[in-house]
A and B are shown apart, each in its own frame.
Chain A
């Protein structure tokens, strides 16, 4: 593996010893990322409250800070000051270890998530595979929490988490493979660089099947994050609070933080795989910004914005969709996402084989015949799906059905 030129090299210069590099990596990457995760947590929790409030025609927190922006900070202080309770019959060591495991399992994902051109901890050449591998580590923390709490609701929650995470890894992997086959690389930076140029170069618009792959990925990512409509592991209405029923204070806060950090990770990965990473999608604009520090700053802004938009979509979905049942969750994974994932993989490779479009990548973009065809196919499928959906809604709603019949 060739060591990519990273921030650590930039800070320390070449020829630093391994100890210096190790400490450098901690200072340059681990500390800021932990800080970033906290920031993401604070921002996301505030966003979630505001979005949920506005979806429900409320205002949400308004008192602390402008539009309640400091409410989360206040809550954080409250959590820190809370008494640290461990249930009497709990497995004390595992109980204390579980939040750390969950948090560590999430944060290792940041190692391959780029924050901008050159702003990546390690551009592993198996980056995507690494992500798939560490994606389920958080589940182990959740399982540990559920078991250690010695509480049946917690145990139910963690068993559900195990089922869900292990199952949804497969459709997610299929979506990964679809993109990896198109990009010809597993490196996150390599994947982003293939999407340079106009917006048509984003893998989302590469062919009709990548649309499906994106949807599959996003659904699977929701399930991996245990977000609604896949929040069965915590299902408040049935399991009190699921796997973290017994947790309070700082330990609970760490679980919370891990969840929001994972939301950011999966969204950033979606941005990298499908939405052009740090590119704006406007070829002349990217060219004008160029590389260097300006490129880094703008690129970081672009990718973080894209990621946060996707995080907001997750929140939107959470407050819109009802929770699905366990059997529906398994049905969706095994009988819907997996067959479609396989079809997507095959379809995408067949499309690329018969309609080769390397020119897109090489020329820096433009609206080619392939793009038009992709658009036509997607529009056609979308129209059919929309019509089918509307019809099913009409059929399911007695008043509408009566109106359409008369």
Chain B
């Protein structure tokens, strides 16, 4: 086993084990921290695949931004005992979940094994950042700009809906 294979297994474990813990955890803050670990693992996998830019974008966006905001949101919420009890999982629901998960996993396994995926030749990966930047400003300039339009409208909508109504001020 070489270095990258070992790191792959490590990162896969860092991704999957916290993912399982997310499902099993009952405390929503703990859950958020497990999610953090899982996302870190995904970032590691990206980097192992040679997509260093993507990997650190994952860190920047998900861990630095989204996770902080999720935690922020959780801290704004109330601990409502009644609601929390309502959210508890019953044995039947658990069983159904396990059965569905197992079925999905089997189906996925079969599909993944049967499919002939399009494979890229294993090449020594050159640095991606410059190429990503160039692609974003040439071939992918339209989607790049469309994403900014999308973000603009999301921002505008969030501000509109969250803004105080005149009668509230």
Contact = CB atoms under 8 A, between A and B. Distances in A.
Q: Do chains A and B touch in the complex (CB under 8 A)?
A: yes
A136 B64 CA distance: 5
B57 interface: yes
Contacts, number: 81
Nearest to A97: B33
Interface stretch (A139-147, A272-280, A283-291): A139-147
B127 interface: yes
Interface string B32-67: 010010000000000000001100110110011101
A126 B59 CA distance: 13
B129 interface: yes
A71 interface: no
A159 B75 CA distance: 7
A303 B60 CA distance: 27
A163 B72 contact: yes
Contacts of B26: none
Nearest to B60: A133
B29 A169 contact: no
B68 A166 contact: yes
Contact of A165 (B27, B68, B125, B129): B68
Contact of B64 (A94, A137, A144): A137
Q: Which of A126, A130, A136, A169 has the most CB of B within 10 A?
A: A126
Nearest to A124: B52
A196 to B, nearest CB: 22
Given A130-B56, A140-B36, A162 B72 contact: yes
Contacts of A133: 56-57, 59-60, 63-64
B117 interface: no
A147 B60 contact: no
Nearest to B6: A18
Given A140-B63, A147-B29, A159-B75, A126 B129 contact: yes
A348 interface: no
A134 B129 CA distance: 17
Q: How large is the interface on A (under 10, 10 to 19, 20 to 34, 35 or more residues)?
A: 20 to 34
B114 interface: no
Interface in A1-47: 1, 18
Contacts of B36: 140
Nearest to B61: A133
Contacts of A130: 56
Contact of A129 (B2, B27, B33, B53): B53
A18 B64 contact: no
A149 interface: no
A135 to B, nearest CB: 7
A133 B47 CA distance: 14
B33 A144 contact: yes
Contacts of A162: 68-69, 71-72, 75
A129 B52 CA distance: 10
Interface in B1-50: 2-3, 27, 29-30, 33, 36
Nearest to A139: B68
Nearest to B73: A162
Interface residues of B, number: 26
Question: What DSSP secondary structure best describes chain A's contact surface?
Answer: helix
Nearest to B126: A1
A136 B125 CA distance: 28
A144 B74 CA distance: 12
Contact of A91 (B2, B3, B29, B127): B29
A155 interface: yes
Interface in A118-139: 124-126, 129-130, 132-137, 139
Contacts of B125: 1
Contacts of A132: 60
A140 B68 contact: yes
Nearest to A126: B129
A137 B57 CA distance: 13
Contacts of B59: 133-134, 137
A165 B71 CA distance: 13
A94 B30 contact: yes
A94 B33 contact: yes
B154 to A, nearest CB: 16
Interface of B: 2-3, 27, 29-30, 33, 36, 52-53, 56-57, 59-60, 63-65, 67-69, 71-72, 75-76, 125, 127, 129
Which 5 pairs between the two chains have the least Cβ-Cβ distance?
Answer: A136-B64, A18-B3, A133-B60, A133-B59, A133-B56
Interface of A: 1, 18, 91, 93-94, 97, 124-126, 129-130, 132-137, 139-140, 143-144, 146-147, 155, 158-159, 162-163, 165-166, 169, 186
Given A147-B29, A155-B75, A163-B72, 15 more contacts: A1-B52, A18-B2, A94-B30, A124-B52, A125-B129, A126-B129, A129-B53, A133-B57, A133-B63, A134-B64, A135-B64, A146-B75, A162-B68, A162-B71, A166-B72
28 contacts: A18-B3, A93-B30, A125-B52, A125-B127, A125-B129, A126-B53, A129-B56, A129-B129, A132-B60, A133-B56, A133-B57, A133-B64, A137-B63, A137-B64, A140-B36, A140-B63, A140-B71, A143-B68, A144-B33, A159-B72, A162-B69, A162-B71, A163-B72, A165-B68, A166-B64, A166-B69, A166-B72, A186-B129
